[in-house]
Chains A and B, each alone.
Chain A
């Protein structure tokens, strides 16, 4: 008897005989089905070796179906391969490992692709895809996907989310209770008495049967803690919905790879349910659950993995799905090497995007225009892909069918463009705005990484020549945009890889720039859009030498009132929150000015605010947490000749038994005397009287100066207040954090005034 059930695809994982497939039914029930599924990988090499491999495989205990077939290798074209179809997908890794050890010299394909991804490629599905299943009893007979990852407003699945939060940060002190929330229920469950605690939690999980268990520190502390408690007290916790399965635990790993220390933290994943750890989800801070679901949807990775992986791996997954659907082999190793080129050609081609020096100073009514996802756009528009031959360097599309890369990227790009246009038309208060914004940002993040993956050392479909073509096209596109702007009498204030800042008398609103945008698209074939018109924007010089402009270091206010900031303290991860917040607050005050002329009115308010913050700092009225500096440990402690502040803090942590691996961040306060830092995540609270207030004041002053000095100069100094070369040469300071920088070469007497200092834009 065949039944039809519709719902949302929820979880897929291999079991002894095939796959377990979980569905959230339209009827609200959660279903678990069984599906037969096979996984195939391929081997290529000399015919004699393949024959030997055939015999070897036949002798293995794991059942396989063997055949000889032809498939396309992206770099070598159509080749003959031995196809190995495994009837029990759960055994794939084991078989492959043994095979690769016995026959190391053969070339393998499709050998390390996850089951979930294979399933997604075969049925064109993805997490939370709307599906219709035909089932006979527990067995799935067929699956059809009813929507696609590209729909802007798919019907949302009714996910049941249970949140489990320890009552404090386990790195700081030992938690005593868990805050449990789901539906309208929210209460604290202490675990001083483990058995009642476990029984209570078990009852909650059984009653509510959540789809998602959302935690803080679930990977690193909470779930391991719960598992141990459960084991020690003999009370089973149904964390997995599929209680026949074990929890999937991944240990933490540090390893040395390509000159960098890589660190991957511990993970605990569930079966039949999702465990998402807010502190271990790549994008949680910015996009929350919506972002994670979108990543899972678009990359087709199971949600638990999508949450924890970098977007680069997401792009790889998408490429694999495209490859599998197109019948293209996925190489096991990234073995394709570069074709030799002459030293002359290397000099000509090995470049990145164009980075111009901005015209330092304050400018008004400036249009910020950007190519929309330039590199991916180039890859799609000009068909740049490792298997597509390139003729010359003109902006011409590569011949033939679209390659893997453009095929993979095109739908993400289109979705991003669709979201962006939708956002433009939506009312400011439309409740879809934040959702669309989150989605658009998720797509953008994915797209930003795909460029690196074109040439990335481990990208299966990477090829450095393609990487170089893309940057060459990017430079060409930027130059043509510059020429279009100059032909239309715009002044160019700054250019950075895929964006330009332009200014023209009389151009004050986005509409005024439309003709320019159209012309650029005409000349380049790429879409370009308006980031916004700045009421005013300040391009900053180098802190070390103020005659030297710095690219991508600016702050400004759009006509909408929105602030845009790049490259200054507030944007750096190691700046103490108090200082970032002060800097941003100053800018918000400045943003109240209607236009550049209004700055003189708001300036006193900003200055008064700064005084208040300084005074708060002096009197230590600032919460200690806001003074925390967070720096990465860049190497093993033993390798430092002079330990950085981070290294000194790590030493303190290690004295209390905590281990910090290179690549991890450590939080600390600057304190008086030696060693000058006090690690934060230690059992005793650092003494607030020991905080090096003077140092924080210096850091605060510096951050304040970054933002206020240009405004003050502009308002007070010189006749030409629209665009000034602003700052007189100061004696170079030594930088306090992370050791000193020797600036001896640039010491300049303080009475030296640059008379050739006008950088252009002088009226």
Chain B
């Protein structure tokens, strides 16, 4: 169970898990935003702005320190990473593989792009700490598994996040 996410310069933290892992990430964003500038690269439409706003109690100064840029296809994910400067501010890439599961782009091309993205991640962590989140695909496929594995292979610290048990246990009398 992840209690806190603290990105450190030099490598990125990879979180692999179900979609509800996102909540933890949003909290991390809120916390980082209260300290300084945070950059969010949203690869799967995951940045729930209102949740973050609630977490920081609506404080405008914090919300102005959190920047978001969205990618809507895998080419844009690479483009986004390429355009992000390597400065000492933490960055989070949310749901990085979401657009890579799209089968209208050839598998070979997707792998090429993903590799280029990983190269960019390495560039960015030279000066800042980063977090990358990945959710397994809705429709499993050979290529999807290979893409996931590619990211893992290049990451030092991967964490698998187990789905949280339901908070409502049935009441037992004995």
Is A334 a contact of B53 with CB atoms below 8 Å?
no
Q: B67 near A335 (CB under 8 angstroms)?
A: no
Asked if A342 and B76 sit within 8 Å, CB to CB, the answer is no
Q: Smallest distance from the beta carbon of A686 to chain B beta carbons, Å?
A: 32
In the complex, residue of chain A having the shortest beta-carbon distance to the beta carbon of B56: A343
* B123 interface contact, C-beta 8 A: no
What residues of A have a CB within 8 angstroms of the CB of B39 in the complex? 340
> Are the C-beta atoms of A338 and B60 separated by less than 8 Å?
no
Is the Cβ of B103 less than 8 Å from the Cβ of A338?
Answer: no
Is A742 positioned at the interface, with any CB of B under 8 Å from its CB?
A: no
A424 at the interface (CB under 8 A from B): no
Q: Across the interface, do B69 and A340 meet the contact criterion of CB distance under 8 Å?
A: yes
Name A340's contact: one of B68, B75, B141 (CB within 8 Å).
B68
* Across-interface contacts of A256 in B (CB, < 8 A): 101-103, 138-139, 141
A residues 457-474 in Cβ contact with B at 8 Å = 457-458, 464
**CB-based contact A347/B53 at 8 Å:** yes
- Chain A, interface size: which category? 20 to 34
Q: Cβ of A342 and Cβ of B112 under 8 Å apart?
A: no
Contact partners of A338 in chain B: CB under 8 A:
69-71, 76, 80
A104 in the interface, Cβ–Cβ < 8 Å?
yes
Q: Which residues 60-112 in B have Cβ within 8 Å of A in the complex?
A: 60, 63-73, 75-80, 83, 99, 101-104, 109, 112
Give the size category of B's interface with A. Answer: 35 or more
**Which residue from B69, B75, B141 sits with its C-beta under 8 Å from A334?**
B75
Q: Is A68's beta carbon under 8 Å from chain B?
A: no
A337 and B138 form a contact (CB under 8 A): no
Report whether B67 and A340 are in contact in the complex, using a CB–CB cutoff of 8 Å. yes
- Please judge, given known A-B contacts A104-B112, A257-B102, A258-B102, whether A337 and B52 are in contact too, CB under 8 Å: no
Verify if A255 is at the interface (C-beta below 8 Å from B): yes
Pairwise interchain contact B75-A343, C-beta atoms closer than 8 A: no
List, in ascending order, chain A residues with CB within 8 A of B83's CB.
337
- Please encode chain B, from 23 to 58, with 1 for each CB lying within 8 Å of some chain A CB and 0 for all others: 000000000010000010000000101101100000
What's the Cα separation between A636 and B140 when bound, in Å? 12
The one of B63, B79, B112 in contact with A335, judged by C-beta atoms closer than 8 angstroms, is B79
A316 shortest CB reach to chain B, Å: 15
Q: CB-CB contacts of A406-423 with B at 8 A, as 1s and 0s?
A: 000000000000000000
| A347 to B101 Cα, complex, angstroms | 28
Q: Are B50 and A347 in contact (CB under 8 A)?
A: yes
| A-side contacts of B71, CB under 8 Å | 337-338
Interface of A: prevailing SS: loop
CA distance A204 to B72 in the complex (A): 52
Instruction: Name the interface residues of A311-362: CB closer than 8 Å to any CB of B.
Output: 333-344, 346-347, 350
CB distance from A106 to the nearest CB of B (A): 12
On whether the beta carbons of B75 and A339 are closer than 8 Å, the reply is no
Q: For B76, list chain A residues within 8 Å (CB).
A: 334-338, 457
Q: How far is the CB of B32 from chain A (nearest CB, A)?
A: 12
A259 within 8 A of B: yes
Given the complex of chains A and B, what is the CA–CA distance between A262 and B79 in angstroms?
A: 26
Cα of A346 to Cα of B66 in the assembled complex, Å: 10
B67 contact set on A, CB distance < 8 A: 340-343
Check A346–B73 contact: CB distance below 8 A.
no
Interface contact B80-A337, CB-CB below 8 Å:
yes
A residues in contact with B47, CB < 8 Å: 343, 346
A344 and B69 contact, CB distance less than 8 A = no
Measured in the bound complex, the distance between the Cα atoms of B72 and A102 in whole Å is 26
- Whether A342 lies near B103 (C-beta < 8 A) is no
Given contacts A335-B79, A336-B79, contact A343 B102 (CB under 8 A): no
Q: Is the CB of B103 within 8 A of A257?
A: yes
Q: Nearest B residue to A254 by beta-carbon distance?
A: B103
Q: How far is the CA of A543 from the CA of B141 in the complex (A)?
A: 41
A97-118 contacts to B (CB < 8 Å): 104
Contact partner, A343, options B49, B72, B103, B109, Cβ 8 Å: B49
**How near does chain A come to B134, taking the closest CB pair, in angstroms?**
16
What's the minimum C-beta distance from A676 to chain B, rounded to whole angstroms? 28
Given contacts A256-B103, A259-B138, A337-B70, 14 further A-B contacts (CB under 8 A): A104-B112, A256-B101, A256-B138, A257-B103, A335-B76, A336-B76, A337-B77, A337-B79, A338-B69, A341-B68, A342-B64, A343-B49, A343-B68, A346-B49
Interface residues in chain B, defined as those with a beta carbon under 8 Å from any beta carbon in chain A = 33, 39, 47, 49-50, 52-53, 60, 63-73, 75-80, 83, 99, 101-104, 109, 112, 138-139, 141
Interface residues of A (CB under 8 A from B): 104, 255-259, 262, 333-344, 346-347, 350, 457-458, 464, 636
| Leading 3 A-B pairs by shortest Cβ distance | A457-B72, A340-B67, A340-B69
Selected A-B contacts with CB under 8 Å, 20 pairs: A104-B112, A255-B104, A256-B138, A258-B99, A262-B104, A335-B78, A337-B80, A338-B76, A338-B80, A340-B68, A340-B69, A341-B67, A342-B64, A343-B33, A343-B47, A343-B66, A344-B63, A344-B64, A346-B68, A347-B49
